[in-house]
Amino acid sequence: MCGIVGVIGALENKNSLLQQACERIKQRGPDSQGVWLSQDETVGFAHVRLAIQDLSVHGHQPMFSDSDRFVIVFNGEIYNHLQLRNELDKDSWRGHSDTETLLACIESWGVDATLKKLVGMFAFALWDKQQETLTLARDRFGEKPLYFAKGENGGLFFASDLKAIMPMKGFSKKINRHAVALLLRHNYIPAPYTIFETTQKLLPAHYIVFTKQQLETGMDWPSATNYWSAYEHAKRTSDRVFTNDNSAVDAFEFELSRAVKGQMLADVPLGAFLSGGTDSSLIVAMMQKQSAIPINTFSIGFEESQYNEAEYAKAVAKHLGTYHIELYMNANDALNMVPELPQAYSEPFADSSQLPVLTMMKLTSQHVKVALSGDAGDELFGGYNRYKRAQKWWNYYEKLPYFLHKPLAKTAQILADKTSDISHRAKLEQSVQLLQAENAVEFYQPFVSYWKHPEQLVLGAKEPVTTFSLSALRSLKESMMIVDTLSYLPDDILVKVDRAAMYYSLETRVPLLDHQLFEFVWDIHWKYKERDGQQKWLMKELLYRYVPKALLDRPKKGFSVPLGEWLRGPLREWANQLLDNRRLQQQGLLNSDIIQQTWQAHLNKKGDWSAHLWGILMLQAWIDAYAIEV
C-alpha cells in the first residue's frame, strides 16, 4: 500500500513540488519516497512506499520496465502476481515485487489485457515514453483511490490523496456545489464526482489514456474504458444450483479459501479485524485454518452497552484460537478524534462510523502492517437491515394500483408542505418519493438518502446523475445489492477504511472483493443467499463449520456510534460553532434556515437528526482545515 502523485504540464520546480507532495501523504508510505521527471521535465511522478512485498530496493518506485519504455507509480497489491510470472516468458527478475510483475505484464500483453488478468486492488499511473501517453487505472471495485484534475493553465494532476495536490499552483479548489448536494444526500461523494469542480475520481474497473497533446493543449479529454463490469455480470446471473446443500457450502469454501490465501501474501506481519459478526468471523476462520500459528485479531468496543459487540468478538477469537487484542472507546475518545477527521479524509466524508474505524486502525497499526476485513458481505449476500425495510414497503407498493400512485403522492406532498413538524414532514416526503419511483432502483434511493431534497439545502446546486439512474435488475433485492456494490461500497465503505488505515500506515485487504468470488456468488441461486428469512445463508452455513451457532446468532448491530447523544453532549459546543447561523449565511453555500431548524430539533430531541447534521459538520470542518474559500 502506497501513495502516488503526478504532475504533467508546464509547472515549474516539479521536483520540489513532488517532494513536498510526498511529505503531505507520507503516512500512506513511510518506508521510502521517490521522484522521477521525464527528460524534458514535462512529466513528473512521485511515490511514497509502504513496503509489504519485496522489502528491498528492488521494490522502490517510480519503477521502470526492463526496456525502459514504461515508468509506473503503483498503489496496491496484485495477489496473483506469482502466477502471472509463471505465464510470462522471462528468464530473470530483479526482485519479487508485484510492481515489477505488473510492468512485465504490460510490456508483454498491453494495459487492457493485463488489467483483465489481474486479481488485486490497485491504482496506478503509467507513462509510455515511446507513445508519450499517460494511463491511469483503478481496480475493479475501487479499493484504491485515484483522483485526477485538469490544471487551470492546462496539464494534469493526479494523486491517491487530494492533500498531495491541493496546494499546487494551477490546482483549482473551487467547490463543486452539485457534489455537495450528493454529499448531503449520501454522506459521501460518489465517483466520478469530487468536492472540486475540475477534479474527478477515476471510476472503479476503468482506465483512461491521455496523449501528450491532449494534456498540453487543454483539448477535450478522452473517455475512460471499462475493462470489467459488476453490473453487467449481475445482469447475467445464471441461478446455478448444486446437487445438495453441502456441495454448495463446499464450493463456497473453496472459493473463499482461495481468495483469503491469496490475500495473506505478505513479507510483513498481518492480522484481521474481528467484530464477532458473520462476515469478519468467517474471514478470520478462513485465515486461521490456513495458518500454523495464531493470527492477530483486533476489535473495538464501546462503553455504551447497546453499541458494544466486543464481547462477542472476544468469544469468537477464543474459540478460533487467535491472538486477540481489543480497545474500548467512549465519548471523550470520539471528541479527541474529531479534529483529526479532515486530515484523515481530505475530501468531505460523513459516515460516523469513521470514528471507531479510525480508532481501530490506530490500534491495529501498532501490531501489524496488513489487516484483512470482512467488508462486502452485505453487498454480496444481501445482508443490510435496510433491505428488509425496503422490501416491506416494496410489497405495499406493488399491491397498490398504479393509477393511485400520483394522486397519493400529490396528497402526501401537500400535507408535507403544511406541517411544521420536521420529522413528520420527512416521513411524508419519503412517501412521496416512493410513490413516484419508476423502478426498483429509484424506489431504493430514499432508503439510502439523508437529505431527501439536497438541492433545497445547497444554494445553486443541481444534483448530478448517479448510479440510481441504472435500470433495475430482476428483483428489488438484487437491484439494491448491485447499486450498493457500485456506489455505497466503493465510495463509503472502502473510502472509510482506506483513508483511516493509511492515516496510520496500515494496509487493509478485502477478500470478499476477489472478483472471481464475486462472480461465483452472483451466479448461484438466490436460495443460497437467503433462506427461510435468514440472510447470508451460505456464509453462515460455512461459518458454523468453524464457530458454534450459539456464539453468532444475535441481532445485527453494525459498527455504529451513539452520535445523536454525543452531539447533544460532548460534541455540542464544537457543532454549535460550525453550524453558527452567521457563519453559514456569510459562506452563501447552504440554506442556513433549514439547518438551524434541524439542529434545534435535534437538540430538543424532536427526532435523531445526527446523521443529517454530520454531513454538514464534516463539510464545515473540512472547509476550516484546508482554508477553503467558498
Express each pLDDT in 323-339 by its tens digit.
999 988 776 777 788 88
CB-based burial of residue 82 (10 Å sphere; 0-12 exposed, 13-18 middle, 19+ buried)? middle
Residues 293, 611: Cα–Cα separation, whole Å: 42
Q: What is the mean pLDDT of residues 126-144?
A: 97
Q: How confident is the model at residue 603 (pLDDT cuts 50, 70, 90)?
A: very high
Q: What is the dihedral of CA 22, 28, 32, 35, to 10 degrees?
A: -30
pLDDT for residue 178: 98
pLDDT for residue 213: 85
pLDDT for residue 557: 58
Residues 305, 313: Cα–Cα separation, whole Å: 14
Q: Is the pLDDT of residue 586 over 80?
A: yes
pLDDT for residue 215: 86
pLDDT for residue 300: 86
Residues 442, 444: Cα–Cα separation, whole Å: 5
pLDDT for residue 409: 84
Express each pLDDT in 186-223 by its tens digit.
999 999 999 999 999 999 999 999 998 888 776 788 99
Q: How many CA atoms lie within 13 A of 167 on its CB side?
A: 15
Express each pLDDT in 289-321 by its tens digit.
999 999 999 998 877 666 667 888 999 999 999
Q: Is the pLDDT of residue 516 over 70?
A: yes
What are the angstrom distances between the C-alpha of 226 and each of 7, 106, 206, 229, 231?
A: 24, 17, 4, 7, 11
Task: Give 71's DSSP letter.
Answer: E
Characterise 273 by phi-psi region: left (phi > 0), alpha (psi -120 to 50), beta (else). Answer: beta
Q: Is the pLDDT of residue 90 over 90?
A: no
* Strands 507-509 and 270-273, sheet pairing: unpaired
Question: Does residue 155 contact residue 198 with C-beta atoms inside 8 Å?
Answer: no
> Taking all residues of the chain, what is their mean pLDDT, rounded to a whole number?
93
Question: Does residue 76 contact residue 102 with C-beta atoms inside 8 Å?
Answer: no
Express each pLDDT in 236-288 by its tens digit.
878 999 999 999 999 999 999 999 999 998 888 899 999 999 999 999 999 99
Q: What is the mean pLDDT of residues 124-131?
A: 97
Q: Which residues does 132 contact at the CB level (< 8 Å), separation at least 6?
A: 211, 212
Q: What is the mean pLDDT of residues 92-103?
A: 90
Task: Give 57's DSSP letter.
Answer: G
* Backbone angles phi and psi of 474, in degrees to 5: -75, -15
Q: How confident is the model at residue 59 (pLDDT cuts 50, 70, 90)?
A: confident
Strand stretches in 206-340, DSSP E: 206-211, 225-226, 270-273, 296-302, 323-329
Residues 367, 360: Cα–Cα separation, whole Å: 12
Question: Does residue 195 contact residue 174 with C-beta atoms inside 8 Å?
Answer: no
Express each pLDDT in 455-507 by its tens digit.
999 999 999 999 999 999 999 999 999 999 999 999 999 999 999 999 999 99
Express each pLDDT in 352-407 by its tens digit.
999 989 989 999 999 999 999 999 999 999 999 999 999 999 999 999 988 888 88
* Strands 370-372 and 507-509, sheet pairing: parallel
Task: Give the residue from 433, 6, 477 showing the smallest Cα distance to 210.
Answer: 6
pLDDT for residue 308: 66
Other CB atoms within 10 A of residue 407 CB? 10
Residues 64, 391: Cα–Cα separation, whole Å: 52
pLDDT for residue 142: 98
pLDDT for residue 251: 98
Other CB atoms within 10 A of residue 420 CB? 7
Q: Is the pLDDT of residue 158 over 90?
A: yes
